[in-house]
Every structure is written in C-alpha cells, then in structure tokens.
Structure 1
C-alpha cells in the first residue's frame, strides 16, 4: 500500500489480472482444475444438516443448464434476468448464463411491477427465470405493459432439470464456443442501482470487473475469511444476490473455493447458524444492530442487564485500547481491563459467539455505515466486524478493513488495483479495474460520473496518515443551517440508530435555524422494550409516550455531546409508523431514500420547527 499524500490519495498495488482475451469463466475453470473435489456449496439435506456440493459436480450442473439456455435460444450477449431470492439455484443459473456467453440481469424479488417493467425495457431482457408463480405473473404483466416478448421459466430444481433435458442435444463444442466468446471487456451483468435519487440505472459490470474482484480482493482480505491451504472457510449467504455486494462476494467465494450455503432471508439466519456453523458472515449494519439489541433485551429480561452493560463497556474499552496500541503507540489493555475481559468472556462473550454458530472468526459489514461503538463491541467480544466501502459502480468493495490492518471508524484501505483520491471539495474518487463499464445506453450519465479516469462517487470522505478512508457523508446530503453552519448528518444518524428502539433516522435542518430529526421506532424492539416495562404500546402510542420520548432524548443528548451546539439536535419527532420499501422510503438494498422522506414528510418537518 502506498500513499502519495495522507490527505489526498491512497492506492494499493494490483496483484494480478487474467489475459484480456479471457473471461470470468476461465478463472472459475482454472480454480476448479486445482481442486475439483473442493466443497463449494452446501444444501440442506432435510435432516437438519447440510450436504456438500463439490466443485466438479457443480460445474457439470452449470454446463448442463447452460446447454439448456442455448437450446432455448439464448445466444452470446443476450440478457437473462434472474427474478428470485437468494438460493443455490440462483448460483447455478448465474454461472450457466455466463457459460452460455450471455449477460445476467439480477432483479430483486421485492421489485414492483413498474420497477420490473423499467428493467426489462432498459436492459433488453428476453429471457427471465422466476422463483414462483407470483413473481412469474408479475413479470408477465410487466413485460406486457412494456411491450416486451418474454420467455419465462421457473427457477427451481424442477425448472433447472427441465433446462438440462432441453440442452441434451446441444453439442459440447457449441457450449464451449459460447462460453469462450466474451472477453474481459464484455458485460457479464447489468446491475440496476438502488434508485435513491431517481430511476435506477443499469450499471454494466464486466467480466474484467468480476475477475479483478476475485483475484485482487480475495488476496487482500484473506485474513477476513481465514482463506488458505488447509483451511475450510465457509459462509452463510442471506443477503439478496441481486445486490452487487452479495453477487460479487459469491463469485469471489467460488473462485477461492470458499463454501457457501444459502438462506432465503435474514429472518432464518439464527435458525441456520447452529447447524451450518459458518466461519465468517457478510451482513448489513441493521443485522448487527438487531443482534446486539436482542442480546441486550434478553439480558434485561433475565435480570442480568447490569452485567451485560458492564460486559459491553469492557469489550468496547478492550478494543479501543488494542487499537490505540496498534496505531498511536498506546500501552494496550491494562492488567485490570484484561482481567475483566477474561471474566466477561466466560460469562457473556462466549454465549454471543455460540449464537453465531460458535466458529465465526470475523464478519464483513457493507452497504451502509456501522457505528464505531458497535464495531468495537463485537471486536472486543472476539468477532471482529470489518467494514468496507464500495458502490454498484465499483463491483462492491473498493476499500476494506482486515483484522491485520483495521481502523475502527474507517472503511479501510484500497483493495489491490484501486486508487482513492479526495477531490478539493472532499468528494471520494475511485479508479481501478473494479470500476464499471458505464451505464447501459446512457453515455451522458456515464461520462458525467467520470473525471480523468476516476469514478465520482458522490460521497464525501478523508484519508488518514496511513491511507485509511473515512466516510463523512453524501455530497448532496450536506445540511447548511440558516446560520451558515455545514452539518454532516450521517455520523449523527448512525449514533442515534445505536439505541435499540430506533429504526430509521433522518437529520434535518437545511436553511433552518437549528438541526432537528425525524425518527421511526423498531417494532420488534419496541415490543420487547414495552414488555420489560409492563407496557403494551403500539407504534402510534409509543410515538408520544413519555417513557419512549425520555429514552430517545437520552440518546439525542449522547449525540449532542459529540458535536458543537450549532450542530446539535434541538428537537426530534417520532413518526407513528415504519418507513419501508412498500411505503416507497427504502430501497431494495434497505437504504433510506432520504430525498423521498424529506419530500413526503415536509409537513411534519414544518411542524417540528413551529413547535
């Protein structure tokens, strides 16, 4: 890793890239040839356990399904949409699309008809695999309204078997010709952005983008996943594979022969962890926030709330002392702190590790920011959470922390081949082989986000003296109060979300005399919190209940203690309902649509300032 200036640019040298005339499937085949018996996937066996899927057997299935796609009329360069939740069948079809020389178009299973219509029309998709009849009917309706002729088939075991039967007559040499046709520069997938600021755009992720991620990011992050000779690394994938982060990580895992099992959603996660026992997990911040809140709630109900609170503070202090020693020359944890940490490890931390399956050595958090306090807590517990940073347009991670080089509060160092540059106005610019090939059929939009070979992220950040990147907010989200004070809402919103009752937060105050906040409550935590206090509150009742207001005010006070008075939150309003994807305020990757919230709740914001 090199830095040209601690404040303007940081880069990590490229490890390797495959030949320009090759493609991602060449990389996968080469990895399989090294160990065709490696267990790369795991399937539920119906007896509460899991059955290994070996690399060679997996690729045999992929080839058979790819021949079926060719028999169905799929030609190199054609678009094949995958409209389904995370599953093993998703993984098989994804690779089969590439073995047929085609381009995958992932679609979230939660997409509306209008969203599907836009994606089908924009991408030119003509073949679509759907998980069930409901999604199939939705896709047909979307295709009809978009005047698109769409060939549909079910993405199920039976559906894949039918494809294999259809492809029996396709010659192996025809499959090989289709597989070998794309080069690194050709599209592998068109991934539609979350659409937080308008209609989703189709980001073209090339074979070279995926290949660069597989070779370089894995090399950099081997400490995270405990990858290497003689190590059996495995993970439980429950994030939507339509999201570029999960999609890219699954590709990396296959290349690295890291075993993957699938869960349809985070809701089944805690049931699957004890039986599968992953060695590492990929999740979004809300999963970790709810996990810690659940542990705290259980402790309160068991009458051990004070013990847990002391254990939590000890874990945080232990992690902070370790980090101070690593980067600031501090003495590390004191003898007394080590003794307390050892005691709580026996009483508390071990139980948290067991809840994760007992073998997790690290977790990766992405998609949005996780509070530093929570990162320190989990590291102190013995489960380091490393944060990374990336966007759809950078094939997910462009920077990442690793246990051996981790700074809490940052999103890490550039992955190999990536250069991070901080523009004069603080915007983060990124370049490297993971940067996408542009937006599908939108040359002007593609040109607008590039500057001298760098992708303009729209995010604001800074680099420390070691080259670690710190995110400070979105360029468009900066609040300028009536007094001319620049306020970055993201750090305050993260701190507010640390409270177990808080669901979502939007800090407001643009052109206003002071800073305020709109909040929603987490319904699950509200239920547990209410029961612990012998209350029975609905979301509507809780929004104005004195005990709830007092609890939130305490958290607001904690936030205000870390900022200037001009930045402090003077008033807040709790909404009496949730902000969801269905309400139009969350993206499919569970990011808050800030601009939509500000527009839809303009009257509430006005009321906040009239009070």
Structure 2
C-alpha cells in the first residue's frame, strides 16, 4: 500500500485558543480535581479547576504587568514541573508564545535557541540555568527579563499584576484564534542546528482532541473512573507538551515528575496511581529489566522467563485473532497466563501504581517482543509515531486493534503516503505552519501540503505503518549494500546488559557496531555470578561479558541478510551522554559526533 487516510473524528477548531479550556472548566466545574501537586513535604495535594483558573489568571496579570505582550516569545528552561504548566497556560492566555528549552542545554544551545527565537524574556528553574543564560546574555539583545522558579518567580509575578483588572487579561485571551502561534519548539538537531517548529493553537487543539476522542479507553480504563496521568516526559519535547494540553482539555488529572530515574519515578507512580501513562520505550524497557533483575535476585529467574514467554505468546494469539489469523489463546495457554498473572504480571502492574491498564509510547521504536510482553501482562502499550512538525502523533495503534512492532495507522484526519524512495509523507490539520525564520520555504516540506519526514517506512494492507530507518542515516558499504542501522541497533539494545548501540559501516567494507553497557544491569549480572564489581576498563575486556553482548549481536543479525549483518563490535567503557555532546536532549544518538569522538575505536573495527 502506498497511501492511507483515516477520516477525522474531531473537527478542526474554528475559534479560541488553548487557554480557554482552563477558564471554561473553572467556570463550569470549579470543584473538579484538575492537577496533583507535591507540597514541600513530598505529599501529593489536589488542585481544583477553580484553583488552576485563578492561578493562571493571576500569573497572566503579572506577565502583562512585566511587559509581556501578544506575540512575544518567552523561553522556559526547566524540568517537568507544575510551574511549567502554569506558565504555558498563562502565556497562552495573553497571546504570548512559550519557547521550551531543555534543562540540560549547554550555553551554546541556549544562545542559539534564544537568539533564533528572539525571546524577550526567559523563565529558568534554578541558579545553574540562570548562570547558563547569564553567560550568553550579552549576545541576546532582545532579552529583557529573567525569572527563576526556585527563587519565587511565580509569587513575584502574581504580586506585580495584582492591580490589573481581570477583563484586561480576558481581552488578550479572546484575541487568540486557532491560527495564532502557540509555541515554537526546536528540533533535536541530530543532523545540524535545531530548527524552530512553529505550532499554532489549532495544531495542538486538533491533535489533543483527536487523541482524546479516538483513544478514550486509554484515558479511562474503567467506566466512571477518574482519569489521571503522571507526566514525566520533558515538557521541552512535543510529546510531553501534547500530554499536558490533552490532560487539561480532556479533564484528566495531571501530575508532574521531574526525574526520569527509577528511584524517583517508581515511588511517585505508586503514590499518584495514574490510570494511564505516556512514555518512551526506554521507560518500559527499564521496568521490564528491573522486574527481571528482582526475580533473578529472588532465585525465580527461570520462572520469570517462562512468564515472559507465556505473556508474549498470549498477546500474539490475541493479536492474531483480531486480524483473522488465528482462534486466539488456547485453553492451556489461558490457564498458564492466569497462573502467571497472580505471581508475576501483577507485580509488573504495581510498578506503574496498580491502576494502569493502557499506555502510549513514542519518541523511538519499541521492540515488538517488549510490546507483546506488556500486553500479555495486562498493560497494552499503544505505539505511535510523530515529529515536532506534526504536533506529536501522526500515527498510532488503535485501542481495538493494536499491531505490535508497528506504529499504527494514521490518526484520524491524517494521511500517510510512501514516496517512491520509501520516504514517509504526512498531511493533516496538526501539521505545523513552517520553520521559524525559514524564508526559503515558508511552510512544510513536500508538495501540496505534504510533509516529507525524512523517515523511511512501509504501509501494510491494513494501513499500519512500520518505520524502517532515516534517509540520512542509511549506510552504504563499499560493496554498494544499503543498510538501515536502526533495526540492528534496536535489537542489540534489547539485551538487558546493553545501554546503547551505534551501527557503523558507511563507505567501509562491512557493518560493525559500538556498544555501551547498562551499569546497573552489569552490576546485577556480576552479583548473580558471584563475581566482584569490576572497573569499566576491565569490563570491556571481560570474556563472559563479551559473550553476552555477542548473543545480542547474533540475535540482531537474524533480522537481516548476511551482507547487512554486524561482523564485529567494540564494547565501550562508558555510555554516550548528552554532556559529551553525543546525545540530543531527547536521547537520540548524534551519529556524526559519536563517530568523530570514537574515531580510533571505529578505525580499529576495520583493521
């Protein structure tokens, strides 16, 4: 299939802007719990719709009092936290445009974003961020204001706007239309300077309303249940931003978690008890790996692996039935699944707080077996695909018929086309209006409203999309063989001991790989073998460890032809990091930077 379209479920909005939902809910249902917020003692407290509306209004007054006007751009550099949502909706209320900045950004990255966007003010989380902005402020002629959250920025602004009349704020809000610019979000910059994607209020409203309408079972697992989600994705990323908007518009209780580490995230999941989560594959992989390590430490490793196999086969049989390829799980498989549900799967669900039965995943590809396991364990993960330019999801697996290993059919109102060279093209009301300061194009790439994504993919007979790689990342060996590295990298990375994998081989005689290790998993692996901890320099030369990584490479090679297979690999002493400039803020590999940083190691693979 070369093209597939799904009719819209939600109409493109004709009037209003994103902030209207906050004030509409505050008026119609002021006592409903809208957000959860941690107090100074770490206890979750409810915030009602009425309280949220009052806080947004007060902050919007302060922004006006401090000189923020309709159309101004204001940078926000912070981790995911309650105040970011306040600033987003307060800025949208007065017609301003938030420009998110990753909290881990370097001074050079901050300078580029703030200068390119021409921001007039900046919100930072703490002193380190303030110092980063301060180090480049002399090259930011438009920057006039800097507010710091941890030194009381919200209270300062609220006090400044105390004398402004409510109607002044609402006049600004009523001037916002669906065509008004809502935000400028910068791309990850894997192949060059990040570009600012201009997204309108209409883009984000259509996207969130479509997902709320089409994925109702995800948001409300049980009839009458209060929908809630804990947002731990970075709000600087379009996926996190879409979650924020959809939660507020869909009357979903929203909490914020600023740390994506298991030690911080798992206790808050247990305390907040969301009904669904939206995450990246990394989160689901970490939960699965942690469950496996716990079972092994308790001497139940073999039982856990049998439970994984049963979950995968059970979910596979259910999927086959939905697509007319089989009768569904057999009676014997159902009995084994029921047994493991009590002794294994329930503990996996408890890791997410106990109430999660549905989840959505995006940002990168999820291994099919991982998706099948979670579905068999009672948490169906609906994988989707999108870009900053598409306001998040452009395709997503539907609740009634997920096909694991694919990113689903187009979301309602969207068309997907596969170009002659295999590139994925997209069209729909959620597609951005263009790149900031890009006078050469003035709109989406492609022809007749189509956005050329740069990704390669294929549509099956049911319109489900599978992403196979990036056009710019295709490797061509000296023998002329073209290889998409992502398939190999994802499979190698699925091994519990592997943190990252970078496949190389462009203009070289064969394919090879650089592999980094998951230190927590390696420590557990050594302990299970009753071996002492080892320095990284020794680990990379350990024969038993190399044998484990080789197993991952052999498994990956079964997916491709011999000419495309990984012939050799090198284990590195430390993972690629954002601090080294080797990862984007959304944790994507910067291929050129890694190959340059590890030029000697790459060269050694071909000696």
Q: Is the shorter-chain TM-score for this pair beyond 0.5, marking a shared fold?
A: yes
**Matching residue of 1:111:** 105
Greater shift, 220-229 or 87-96, is seen at: 220-229
Stretches of structure 1 lacking an aligned partner (at least 5 in a row): 1-6
Deviations 1:204-239 (A, max 9, x none): 111111111122121112122227973311111111
**1:364/1:385 contact within 8 Å kept:** yes
Compute the displacement of 1:36 (Å).
2.9
In structure 2, C-alpha distance between the alignment counterparts of 1:515 and 1:129, rounded to whole Å: 45
In structure 2, C-alpha distance between the alignment counterparts of 1:451 and 1:593, rounded to whole Å: 29
In structure 2, C-alpha distance between the alignment counterparts of 1:168 and 1:473, rounded to whole Å: 53
- Residue pairs, 1:51-66, within 5 angstroms: 51-66=45-60
In structure 1, C-alpha distance between the alignment counterparts of 2:284 and 2:419, rounded to whole Å: 32
* Counterparts in 2 of 1:338 and 1:290: CA distance versus 1, 3 Å: same
Choose the corresponding residue for 1:589, options 586, 593, 600.
Answer: 586
Deviations 1:560-606 (A, max 9, x none): 22322112211111111210000111111111112222233233222
Greater shift, 512-521 or 244-253, is seen at: 512-521
**Matching residue of 1:607:** 604
* Counterparts in 2 of 1:18 and 1:173: CA distance versus 1, 3 Å: farther
Choose the corresponding residue for 2:77, options 64, 80, 83.
Answer: 83
**Matching residue of 1:429:** 425
Compute the displacement of 1:45 (Å).
4.1
**Matching residue of 1:4:** none
Choose the corresponding residue for 1:197, options 191, 194, 199.
Answer: 191
Stretches of structure 2 lacking an aligned partner (at least 5 in a row): none
**Matching residue of 1:396:** 392
Greater shift, 491-500 or 24-33, is seen at: 24-33
Q: TM-score, normalised to structure 2's length?
A: 0.96
SS in 2 for 1:443: coil
Deviations 1:132-164 (A, max 9, x none): 112112112222233443311122583212211
Compute the displacement of 1:27 (Å).
4.4
In structure 2, C-alpha distance between the alignment counterparts of 1:180 and 1:229, rounded to whole Å: 35
In structure 2, C-alpha distance between the alignment counterparts of 1:607 and 1:157, rounded to whole Å: 51
Greater shift, 481-490 or 444-453, is seen at: 444-453
**Matching residue of 2:241:** 247
* Counterparts in 2 of 1:297 and 1:445: CA distance versus 1, 3 Å: farther
In structure 2, C-alpha distance between the alignment counterparts of 1:50 and 1:452, rounded to whole Å: 49
**1:428/1:460 contact within 8 Å kept:** yes
In structure 1, C-alpha distance between the alignment counterparts of 2:40 and 2:90, rounded to whole Å: 26
Compute the displacement of 1:21 (Å).
4.3
Choose the corresponding residue for 1:150, options 144, 154, 162.
Answer: 144
**Matching residue of 1:290:** 286
In structure 2, C-alpha distance between the alignment counterparts of 1:19 and 1:500, rounded to whole Å: 45
Compute the displacement of 1:516 (Å).
1.2
Compute the displacement of 1:195 (Å).
0.7
**2:455/2:469 contact within 8 Å kept:** yes
* Counterparts in 2 of 1:305 and 1:16: CA distance versus 1, 3 Å: closer
**Matching residue of 1:512:** 508
Choose the corresponding residue for 1:574, options 543, 548, 571.
Answer: 571
**2:433/2:443 contact within 8 Å kept:** no
In structure 2, C-alpha distance between the alignment counterparts of 1:157 and 1:327, rounded to whole Å: 56
* Counterparts in 2 of 1:227 and 1:381: CA distance versus 1, 3 Å: closer
**Matching residue of 2:170:** 176
Compute the displacement of 1:510 (Å).
2.1
**Matching residue of 2:461:** 465
Choose the corresponding residue for 2:326, options 317, 326, 330.
Answer: 330
Greater shift, 474-483 or 248-257, is seen at: 474-483
Aligned length: 604
Deviations 1:143-194 (A, max 9, x none): 2233443311122583212211111111222111211222211211011111
**1:68/1:164 contact within 8 Å kept:** yes
Compute the displacement of 1:22 (Å).
2.5
Compute the displacement of 1:28 (Å).
4.3
In structure 2, C-alpha distance between the alignment counterparts of 1:266 and 1:445, rounded to whole Å: 37
- Residue pairs, 1:544-559, within 5 angstroms: 544-559=541-556
**Matching residue of 2:65:** 71
Compute the displacement of 1:32 (Å).
4.6
* Counterparts in 2 of 1:421 and 1:183: CA distance versus 1, 3 Å: same
**Matching residue of 1:3:** none
In structure 1, C-alpha distance between the alignment counterparts of 2:592 and 2:135, rounded to whole Å: 29
In structure 1, C-alpha distance between the alignment counterparts of 2:148 and 2:425, rounded to whole Å: 41
**1:90/1:155 contact within 8 Å kept:** no
**1:76/1:101 contact within 8 Å kept:** yes
In structure 1, C-alpha distance between the alignment counterparts of 2:119 and 2:31, rounded to whole Å: 35
In structure 2, C-alpha distance between the alignment counterparts of 1:18 and 1:57, rounded to whole Å: 29
In structure 1, C-alpha distance between the alignment counterparts of 2:554 and 2:513, rounded to whole Å: 13
* Counterparts in 2 of 1:161 and 1:253: CA distance versus 1, 3 Å: same
Deviations 1:61-93 (A, max 9, x none): 101100000000011001111111111111111
* Counterparts in 2 of 1:397 and 1:19: CA distance versus 1, 3 Å: closer
**2:417/2:425 contact within 8 Å kept:** yes
Compute the displacement of 1:328 (Å).
3.6
In structure 2, C-alpha distance between the alignment counterparts of 1:15 and 1:604, rounded to whole Å: 52
Deviations 1:224-275 (A, max 9, x none): 2227973311111111111111011110110000011111111211111111
SS in 2 for 1:578: coil
Compute the displacement of 1:526 (Å).
1.6
Compute the displacement of 1:54 (Å).
1.0
Q: Is residue 2:471 matched to residue 1:443?
A: no
* Counterparts in 2 of 1:312 and 1:569: CA distance versus 1, 3 Å: same
**Matching residue of 1:187:** 181
**1:430/1:456 contact within 8 Å kept:** yes
**2:444/2:450 contact within 8 Å kept:** no
SS in 1 for 2:162: helix
**Matching residue of 2:253:** 259
In structure 1, C-alpha distance between the alignment counterparts of 2:42 and 2:604, rounded to whole Å: 54
In structure 2, C-alpha distance between the alignment counterparts of 1:411 and 1:483, rounded to whole Å: 32
In structure 2, C-alpha distance between the alignment counterparts of 1:605 and 1:403, rounded to whole Å: 44
**1:89/1:157 contact within 8 Å kept:** no
**Matching residue of 2:311:** 315
SS in 2 for 1:413: coil
**Matching residue of 1:208:** 202
In structure 2, C-alpha distance between the alignment counterparts of 1:46 and 1:24, rounded to whole Å: 30
**Matching residue of 1:380:** 376
In structure 2, C-alpha distance between the alignment counterparts of 1:48 and 1:249, rounded to whole Å: 23
SS in 2 for 1:414: coil
Q: Is residue 2:30 matched to residue 1:36?
A: yes
In structure 2, C-alpha distance between the alignment counterparts of 1:110 and 1:179, rounded to whole Å: 32
Choose the corresponding residue for 2:89, options 95, 99, 102.
Answer: 95
* Counterparts in 2 of 1:569 and 1:224: CA distance versus 1, 3 Å: same
